[in-house]
Amino acid sequence: MADVIKKRKRVSKKTKKSWRKHVDTKDVDSFLEDFRLEERLGVPFKKRADTELFQIDSIPDEDLKKVVNTKAAYRESLRNAEPKCYAALKPHTAVPDPISKRNRVKTPAERQNPITKKFQQLRKLSGKLTLTERLAVKNRELAETKRKNRPKRDEFTGDIWEGEPGKKVLGEIDTQWLTTDAVRHTLIVKGIRKRRIPAAVHKKPSEVPSIELPHPGTSYNPSYEDHQSLLREIADKELKLMKEEAHIERVTTKMFKKVSQQQKADNWMKDAAEGLPLPQNVEVKSEPEDDEDGDVKPVKLPVKNVKKTRVQRRKQREQRKLALELRAKKVEKRKIGDMYKLKFIKKNIEVKEKKNEVLRVMRKKMEERKAKEPKLLSKTKFEPAEDAFTLGLELTGNLREAAPVGNLLKDRFKSMQQRNILAPSKLVLTRNKPKVKKFIKPDHKITLPSKSK
């Protein structure tokens, strides 16, 4: 079928918009795209030599397969191949730099005058260094010392927490008048930092072991003595609880007497009428009337401000001086008397030291006991789980017929509460929802007509 020749359209190409719209530039774009691709790939294939495009194969196919397929050849090719990490350093295109000759900026050392450079070298050789150069030399020495003292990889020669690293350095310096900031600054400048071990790293939340050994009597096949001792301990705990409950009942409920409703009402009326005005038939004693003249006499007469005379002031000073002298004499007399009471004082000191030692031992025991007790982490007090036990008739003697005793999940949960990991709480089964008062709005009320009888 012959190609259909489209009729040429006569359109205006006056503006750029109409030119772009009605002119087909696909051939130009494809040519430019091919040209850019050749630039990225390098020299066009037409301009390349045959040696760059083709290679003469001088090895037979069988020998080539043997060489390529061997593992040694594959490893050798991998060793000789260029690493893939160098691909990021290479240019991603073969387009040459349009500006082949560029101006290079010289470094400060290259721009320096050779005469000045020579004088500086002579000054450094003679040992005359500036402050910056001296600090640089000092920092290089510190860095070199730190690098030499740094242990090699996977080499552990000693315990890093064994001793304080700055103790040797601080021993040469008098730190009596230095603050903590000055000491820390000295250690940092010397290249040694003082390590601080956090307390939470080595301290457990509780001294109670995570897994406690069970009583021998809880075994599925215990001995008679172990089983009886377990039952005796549980019985003693139950008796103690019953005694505490009886004591609370005795000092609360049973301490009050039962009264009838009439007596209760009379007591309430008596308490409510306390302080109210008396009835009219009760006579009230009248207070004593004032004098006929109506003058109010004070209870105490006013005291006149009488000044002291010179004689009184002199005697007061003499008495004060005499009291101070007597007090000083008593102190001196007490000192002399204490010299003859040295044995008695020494005995009192020894008694006091023994008492303090006993108190110290008791306080230490109390701290050890409190360390094993659970702390108060919430408003709920920790209650230990009930001890699991099996009666003598329920013992089977073999593990196949033994019934499960206790709950492992509850046991671990109580253990975490006892070791201060979880806060004690209560199991809430029902939620107390607030009572909502419901009513109908006035505009929503529906009044039904009353039925006529």
> pLDDT tens-digit profile of 344-369?
889 999 999 999 999 999 999 999 88
Tell me: the pLDDT tens digits for 78-101? 899 999 899 888 887 777 777 878
pLDDT of res. 180? 82
pLDDT tens track for 249-288: 999 988 888 888 999 999 899 888 888 876 666 555 555 5
- Judged against a pLDDT cut of 70, whether residue 294 lies above it is answered with no
Question: How many whole angstroms separate alpha carbon 260 and alpha carbon 268?
Answer: 12
pTM exceeds 0.85: no
* Residue 141 near residue 171, CB atoms below 8 Å: no
Instruction: Check pLDDT > 80 for residue 106.
Output: yes
Confidence at residue 319, expressed as pLDDT on a 0 to 100 scale: 96
294 conformational bin, left if phi > 0, alpha if psi -120 to 50, beta if neither: left
Q: Are 91 and 38 in contact (CB under 8 A)?
A: no
Q: What is the pLDDT of residues 389-429, one digit of tens each?
A: 888 888 888 888 888 888 889 999 999 999 999 999 888 88
Q: Write the CB contacts of 369 (distance below 8 Å, at least 6 apart in sequence).
A: none
pLDDT of residue 289 exceeding 70: no
Q: How many CB atoms lie within 10 A of CB 204?
A: 13
Residue 442 or 409, more confident? 409
Does position 332 have pLDDT exceeding 90, yes or no?
yes
35, 41, 52, 297 from 38: Cα distances, Å = 5, 5, 16, 130
What does DSSP assign to residue 256? S
Question: What's the rounded Cα separation, in Å, for the pair 336 and 330?
Answer: 10
Mean pLDDT of 330-346: 89
CA separation for the pair 342, 365 (Å, rounded):
34
For 29-33, 71-75, 185-189, 380-384, which range has the lowest pLDDT when averaged over its residues?
Answer: 185-189
Show the tokens assigned to 132: 């910056």
Cβ atoms of residues 206 and 374 within 8 Å: yes
How far apart CA 397 and CA 73 sit, in angstroms, is 72
Q: Rounded to 10 degrees, what is the CA torsion of 305, 306, 307, 312? A: -140
pLDDT at 29: 92
Cβ atoms within 10 Å of 217's Cβ, excluding its own: 21
Q: Which has the closest alpha carbon to 384: 237, 218, 260, 267?
A: 237
3-state secondary structure of 268: helix
**Alpha-carbon distance values, 368 to 206, 334, 377 (Å):** 11, 45, 19
